[in-house]
Amino acid sequence: MEQKYMSIHEISIEEISMMQLSDSFFPSGMFTTSSGLEALFYSNRKITDPDQLRELIKVYLEHQIGPADCSALGNSYEHLQRKDLQKLVEVDNIIFSMKLIEEIRNASTRSGTQVLKCVSSFRTDNSILNRYREAIENKRASGVYPVALAVCSNALGIPKYKAGLMMLYGFTVSMVGAALRLGMLQHFDGQRIIHGLKPSVSEIVEKNIGRPLTGMWQFAPDIDILQIAHERMSSKMFIT
């Protein structure tokens, strides 16, 4: 492929797009999720200090979001470059079926479809984005978040690796936000956790963004159980 160098103007637009999509103000609905943290908070296995929360988020990243969602995002990018909708839909279906917990599955598709809808309101001429939305409307695809984010990031010219960073960073921020609202820590602790996880986020993206579709995995049974427990809570503040 011919090497194309970006102008300073192009670089800044791409980077601003990255800020826009990874901003917690961007309407993805992720502020309503805790990924099972709320169930942990109300269980007898309390998190007692910020370091424990940082380590827990790292487990999510290393054993769920990295090898599954980040790999799905990376695979999606490969098919987006070739405008191969069929293969993109295949990634969508596989990562959707890997989400074992209904609440998590639903939250992911709800966020994904709304992010797509929002980006397509100002990026109207991206054919693969429009075709992927049609596939969702026709029930061929689910609109699961990692694939939807890949489609949107690609439409805004954000490179694959940076899109992976955005997704893991966004997940980290949503977990810290949930912990703050549950009263598990104070706001400076939250920022310390995010800062402390930067090397892990970078390393996990690097390790998983090029993972082939057949190599995608996730294994965090303790977290699965927490997420199942959350589904059964009668009183809750978060949707997951």
Partner 1 sequence: MSSRRIPRLGIGGPVGSGKTMLIEQVVPRLASRGYKVGIVSNDVVSREDAERMRRSLATERGLMCEDLVVGLATGGCPHTAIREDPSMNISVVEEMESKHRDIDLILIESGGDNITTTFSPVLADHFIYIIDVSGGDKYPRKRGLGIESCDLLVINKIDIAPYVGADLSIMERDAKVIRGSKPYVFVNCKNGQGTDDVTEHIIRDVLFEAPPKVVKR
Binding site for partner 1 (CB under 8 A): 25, 27-29, 31-34, 107, 110-111, 113-115, 118, 177-178, 181-182, 234-239
DSSP letter (8 states) at residue 234: S
The residue among 63 and 133 lying less far from partner 1, judged by its C-beta, is: 133
d(CA 175, CA 228): 17
Q: What's the closest the beta carbon of residue 11 comes to partner 1, in angstroms?
A: 28
Name the amino acid, one letter, at 44.
N
Tell me whether residue 194 or residue 239 sits nearer to partner 1 (CB atom).
Answer: 239
Place of tokens 């943290």: 37
Nearer to partner 1, 22 or 111 (CB): 111
Q: Which of residues 77 and 96 has its CB atom nearest to partner 1 in the complex?
A: 96
Helix ranges (H only) for 123-220 are 127-137, 145-155, 160-181, 187-208
Nearer to partner 1, 41 or 77 (CB): 41
Closest distance of CB 13 from partner 1, Å: 24
CA 209 to chain CA mean position, Å: 13
**CA-to-CA distance for 157 and 69, rounded, in angstroms?**
20
CA nearest neighbour of 36 among 225, 235, 234: 225
Least separation in angstroms between CB 42 and partner 1: 11
State which H helix or E strand residue 81 sits in. Answer: helix 71-81
Amino acid at 60: Y
- The least distance separating partner 1 from the CB of residue 29, rounded to whole angstroms, comes to 3
